[in-house]
Structure 1
């Protein structure tokens, strides 16, 4: 039985606690965030004057959390991050018994404590002597799990565990630990629900049916009071003909004239094994190949799925090592083992439709009705993401903390997939393996797969199934990350109008990683995730930075907390309210490019047919000539579209004054169009609004039409009229440019063949020479390794199938044209 740390350590901490529990020292506090239970989740300290030193970490905890003689904190881990912060994590105890999921971390730099964060449980009047002994409690837990066979009943698995742990005493057989845990199994609304409870904790691993979870048994009544799932659900170089990612290279091991899927170049190694459609890890064997060219694995047995698992594990390791300086999932070089062709019920003729991290190794089924083998790159990264979570925040797998656990794994699935192959569908999870739906989950549009994109909005799950809806309510975190990366605007399910300026996937992933690895605790909820991600963005990029603003506004977009209200929040463009305008259906045509000065935005379809880009701006001088470029995206056929560009020169909140329609006309071209206009000399100085409208029928500046889109941006006029002028004199206003005039022409670059398979031939107008070339996907992400030869040929063999935007410059003008790689 395991239930207490050393008496000496706990007595020492108890003495410190009682000495300092005189009340909070508020003179040191700069800012404090309080959670839903009224306890501080984040405390930031003043760095001037009297400050806590790292040697006073326990004193800081005792004073700021107002500990009593019954409360203790035991130091559990100390880490130093690349930014120079030292993080000391403390676990909470009550009368010598550990409080499950309660921990606090002290964050210091150069010896001075800058903040502390975590989850503190105010425990009072809880009995600490169990009425139920360990064995009786274990029987209650086993009855609750209902396994037919357990891992400790398999001698082979027991031997494998001892070898894996390098510990002859290691066993899957559960040992009870007395803890205090919050009761989450009682009926919501009952007196027992949410209350701290003395319980026996068991790690129970069922082999048939497969499950592994921490089970908590009330030490007085024998009731199950909590469950925390561990299984969440869901030196040679070889050439891998993977099932889902094409031909890749990966590290293997040469042995006895053959090669196997093992390697020691990453941490303690990465190894991939064949369960041979069984449910035993012990009897699993190596995948081998004679020449290290793994092409024959595309067979009826679906063995090429193993190549994806091995490649996925290597890719995930590389991503975290190279991007986040993390050495394997435990940051200590732990070996990553993957088991492919796993089947929980061998011989039934059905493949196992799941993949999971079991607390030690990766396990992949072959799928059956819903799925193909579950070894795609994003799924592998997702599952290893669970291992990372267990070594960092260790988010409890139930309700909101469980939804965060799932959401972070989806974030890492997307991030690793983009890191290794940006041509894949970054924002879809499991799109390669799903035989029934487009994907398991969509981060860009969670509603498409019956997930909420807004906290407690449409599809929010309020029941107790699926551990409190962990696979459903994770959509909120998924969509927060998507908004943080790409930005966007609209109105969410709770009626909040939002606008987010995206910061890109690299910065967003760094914020997410720091949130999970530094600040979140086991019991964190969505409110805590918001608080800690904003703090992470502040740590990384500074207070009031664009990244902090975006992080805050992305949470507002998904219904968690308020929009950013301080520092450099993008202001309204004019201080006036503009009419609404949008397309109600953009499935067939949409605006995919707007370029004027420093505004240069390529995009796909916008939610609700409208994009609020007023956070993006460019400056134009009164009297100057300006050229705006724009283009339409089409799902298939290029229709005749009506284009309108409006600029509110006199800043009166509308676009109806003379000269405020600066572009008007029609075009059926998918090429980049351009128009030149003159800024009126009487235009008012300062920020005003530009509206770009695309419709399949004639529109006005305030139309809500069926097919098309509308996008708004900010124009900053310099050298114009003072605000005392009421209107812009019509004689000084430029006439609008129209299609068919010399001002609006299709700047179409010649490309053929289109679609292309290997080589794309490019010609510029007037046979001009190309100075630079860029290829981007339809989300605006630049594709590396594209180069135009002297005879105008572009090699596109390395591109995945899909549509791309080609941008070619002759040194004076940039020409854009879409093409398809087939």
Structure 2
């Protein structure tokens, strides 16, 4: 199995709580004395000092406090310190910021979207009124509303708000947990965010041939549990579903770990319940290996912790979802007409990548930032598919092509070269993009990524024909998928924040291309051209 490694500057991710390096690269020995290793603790202290000194630039002010949550250090000692912000003790949602400094602590700028400093912490609308406003039909409010400062709206201006959590189910049975921010001055709903990330579709079981699996011996049987990848495992939900209240679940669908007597799993058809479990576990393995090999990221959270899978969720459940609260992926068996079991390689990579986004930029799952969240999962899913290099499921720029059945009417769920082929996604940005479902507003970034990777016009990759247009009639030359993926990952982990929109994503990816290849490089210029080609200026 071929495994591609990206080129360019490598980074080390450091956890905020301990500020301990999880994978610092050894520096080559100097002739007389080895250079000092990067010091994330010192970088964090310098960043906090810089915040105090540059209050106006960072929209700081009285009553505000900053907390370091993560430090990303480049090989040359430059640092990128991600912080959250509070005002009068209230969390400022959308007030997160990344401070960029040189190895010596010199200021290199910041990334953030907050438009002004918060200035109010006294509500005029009651918590009860806000709860009534947020609780839609067939949804229940769970827990008392909490005061926050909401700044993740389109104008990024901070407003005192009540944050109300409601629970319910979507039309297809997917568990739903929505956090709604209600303006504490006017009672207006400012933003609603679904906290259970979903992939809009299931898939026909992906049979990737005979694939290697690392398992665990337990007594006289083997468990479908991988000790080499954080003890990631796959279990059977037995057709059951979750019943959750607030952040606690009254009932969780089980994840009864699959076992086997001879360590040969599945039968290649859905007649054997373990077949889709093999697909889910293999997808998890390839996604884990991709992030570790290409980016040095061990596990979804970067902490070596394994997630787990639940297959056979619900009855004819035609979806899959990632849930931060259980750190798990869940897959239904499909409706049997339009969609089959949702355990294809790209769906698995898509869902796991939601976890990566949550652990880094934490893009709000609503509006343009929600589209970028979904697009990140599609982008990384495509990259994982190419990385796996499996002859039964070759890499492509289609989403969910393995899972659709004849009744679906299209060869895939989404199309990165021309998103509009799905009938709902836009090929380019407009003022209405923010109002679309996040699975459709993602089309703008998906199209950008395809253009950056492969360029515009007609092209055939791995036997699949593409023909990608541009909104401005330009001709875009691609820089290759590896470089494009590397730029997107650095932008996500280093420059994007919770309320990054498309305009800010352009800036973030340009910054990432500059870091990796230099300002004015062909890669930097291609990023600018690809965004212009999807009408993001």
Per the TM superposition, whether the score is higher than 0.5 is yes
Please, which runs of 5 or more residues in structure 1 have no aligned partner? 1-51, 151-172, 235-241, 344-349, 562-822
1: CA distance, partners of 2:452 / 2:257: 42
| From 355, 378, 386, the counterpart of 2:320 | 355
Corresponding residue for residue 25 of structure 2: none
Corresponding residue for residue 412 of structure 1: 380
Mapping of 1:154-169 within 5 angstroms? none
- Deviations along 1:247-279, whole A, 9 cap, x unmatched? 21111111121112112212x321111001111
Bigger radius of gyration among the two: 1
| From 506, 509, 513, the counterpart of 1:537 | 513
| SS class of match (2:312) | strand
Taking a change above 3 Å as real, the CA distance of residues 322 and 256 of structure 1, as seen in their structure-2 partners, is same
* Contact 1:182 1:225 (8 Å CA) reproduced: no
The reply on whether 1:334 has 2:305 as its aligned counterpart is yes
2: CA distance, partners of 1:299 / 1:127: 56
1: CA distance, partners of 2:59 / 2:152: 24
Taking a change above 3 Å as real, the CA distance of residues 389 and 196 of structure 1, as seen in their structure-2 partners, is same
Corresponding residue for residue 213 of structure 1: 178
1: CA distance, partners of 2:53 / 2:411: 51
The reply on whether 1:391 has 2:359 as its aligned counterpart is yes
Taking a change above 3 Å as real, the CA distance of residues 194 and 391 of structure 1, as seen in their structure-2 partners, is closer
Taking a change above 3 Å as real, the CA distance of residues 54 and 521 of structure 1, as seen in their structure-2 partners, is closer
Corresponding residue for residue 312 of structure 1: 283
| SS class of match (2:305) | coil
- Deviations along 1:484-535, whole A, 9 cap, x unmatched? 1112359998852322222211111110000111100111111111111011
Corresponding residue for residue 666 of structure 1: none
Corresponding residue for residue 820 of structure 1: none
Corresponding residue for residue 485 of structure 1: 453
Q: Indicate the RMSD between aligned Cα atoms, in angstroms.
A: 3.0
Taking a change above 3 Å as real, the CA distance of residues 141 and 258 of structure 1, as seen in their structure-2 partners, is farther
Post-superposition offset of 1:92: 3.0
Post-superposition offset of 1:408: 0.7
| From 443, 446, 454, the counterpart of 2:419 | 446
Taking a change above 3 Å as real, the CA distance of residues 304 and 81 of structure 1, as seen in their structure-2 partners, is farther
| SS class of match (2:109) | strand
1: CA distance, partners of 2:258 / 2:520: 52
Give the structure with the higher percent strand: 1
2: CA distance, partners of 1:142 / 1:560: 33
| SS class of match (1:531) | helix
* Contact 2:131 2:145 (8 Å CA) reproduced: no
Corresponding residue for residue 529 of structure 2: 553
| SS class of match (2:447) | helix
Corresponding residue for residue 455 of structure 1: 429
1: CA distance, partners of 2:152 / 2:497: 17
Q: Compute the TM-score of the two structures, normalised by the length of structure 1.
A: 0.52
Q: Compute the TM-score of the two structures, normalised by the length of structure 2.
A: 0.78
| From 358, 364, 384, the counterpart of 2:331 | 364
The reply on whether 1:427 has 2:397 as its aligned counterpart is yes
* Contact 1:264 1:270 (8 Å CA) reproduced: yes
Mapping of 1:109-258 within 5 angstroms? 109-112=102-105, 113-123=107-117, 125-129=119-123, 131-133=125-127, 136=128, 139-140=131-132, 143-144=135-136, 146-147=138-139, 174=143, 176-182=145-151, 196-206=158-168, 210-219=175-184, 224-234=189-199, 243-258=206-221
2: CA distance, partners of 1:296 / 1:340: 16
- Deviations along 1:653-706, whole A, 9 cap, x unmatched? xxxxxxxxxxxxxxxxxxxxxxxxxxxxxxxxxxxxxxxxxxxxxxxxxxxxxx
1: CA distance, partners of 2:133 / 2:412: 36
Post-superposition offset of 1:59: 3.5
Post-superposition offset of 1:290: 1.0
Highest RCO, 1 vs 2 (Cα 8 Å, sep ≥ 6): 2
The reply on whether 1:377 has 2:342 as its aligned counterpart is no
Taking a change above 3 Å as real, the CA distance of residues 84 and 438 of structure 1, as seen in their structure-2 partners, is farther
| From 87, 99, 102, the counterpart of 2:92 | 99
Please, which runs of 5 or more residues in structure 2 have no aligned partner? 1-44, 200-204, 243-251, 459-466
| SS class of match (1:144) | coil
Mapping of 1:471-620 within 5 angstroms? 471-488=439-456, 496-561=472-537
2: CA distance, partners of 1:84 / 1:485: 29
Post-superposition offset of 1:288: 1.5
* Contact 2:236 2:257 (8 Å CA) reproduced: yes
Taking a change above 3 Å as real, the CA distance of residues 397 and 83 of structure 1, as seen in their structure-2 partners, is farther
Corresponding residue for residue 29 of structure 2: none
Taking a change above 3 Å as real, the CA distance of residues 137 and 84 of structure 1, as seen in their structure-2 partners, is farther
* Contact 1:454 1:492 (8 Å CA) reproduced: no
Post-superposition offset of 1:401: 0.8
| SS class of match (1:499) | coil
* Contact 1:461 1:469 (8 Å CA) reproduced: no
Corresponding residue for residue 78 of structure 2: 85
* Contact 1:243 1:304 (8 Å CA) reproduced: no
1: CA distance, partners of 2:157 / 2:428: 28
Post-superposition offset of 1:76: 3.3
1: CA distance, partners of 2:119 / 2:175: 38
* Contact 2:457 2:468 (8 Å CA) reproduced: no
| SS class of match (1:552) | helix
| SS class of match (1:471) | helix
2: CA distance, partners of 1:500 / 1:220: 47
Taking a change above 3 Å as real, the CA distance of residues 175 and 256 of structure 1, as seen in their structure-2 partners, is farther
Corresponding residue for residue 73 of structure 1: 66
Corresponding residue for residue 788 of structure 1: none
Corresponding residue for residue 321 of structure 1: 292
Corresponding residue for residue 269 of structure 1: 231
1: CA distance, partners of 2:157 / 2:47: 33
Taking a change above 3 Å as real, the CA distance of residues 80 and 116 of structure 1, as seen in their structure-2 partners, is same
Corresponding residue for residue 19 of structure 2: none
1: CA distance, partners of 2:491 / 2:275: 36
| SS class of match (1:251) | coil
Taking a change above 3 Å as real, the CA distance of residues 178 and 259 of structure 1, as seen in their structure-2 partners, is same
2: CA distance, partners of 1:55 / 1:463: 33
Taking a change above 3 Å as real, the CA distance of residues 556 and 131 of structure 1, as seen in their structure-2 partners, is closer
